[in-house]
């Protein structure tokens, strides 16, 4: 809750989001991509969506692809292109 007459962002207890392994308050997500070109922003967003889908589906590529609405081959290509496989290290399951 807030102390005093002014309410600050911290007082609102807004949810946070995970972006490339770092937690950020929801209200600052737009600032994360500040200074990046459009292709860099899109790549970061795509990478995070894939990482989230993999984590939510216990690192099953088949299930993650279904959750993302893309084919298994498309997911496998994006994982390779975005360097995600190396990010996952020991969590990687190649199904």
For the stretch 80-93, pLDDT in tens is: 999 998 777 645 55
Cα 9 from Cα 82, distance rounded (Å): 34
Query: Is residue 60 helix, strand or coil?
Result: coil
Q: Quick check: 25 and 35 in contact, CB under 8 A?
A: no
Domains of the chain (ranges; CATH) run: 15-89 (1.10.10.60)
In the predicted structure, residue 25 carries a pLDDT above the cut 60:
no
In the predicted structure, residue 18 carries a pLDDT above the cut 80:
no
Global pTM reads 0.63
């Amino acid at each position: 809750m807030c102390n005093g007459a002014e309410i600050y962002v911290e007082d609102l207890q807004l949810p946070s989001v995970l972006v490339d392994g770092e937690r950020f308050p929801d209200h600052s997500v737009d600032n994360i991509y500040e200074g990046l070109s459009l292709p860099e922003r899109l790549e970061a967003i795509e990478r995070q969506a894939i990482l989230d889908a993999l984590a939510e589906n216990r690192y099953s590529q088949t299930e993650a692809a279904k959750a993302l609405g893309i084919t298994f081959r498309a997911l496998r290509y994006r994982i390779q292109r975005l360097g995600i496989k190396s990010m996952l290290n020991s969590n990687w399951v190649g199904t």
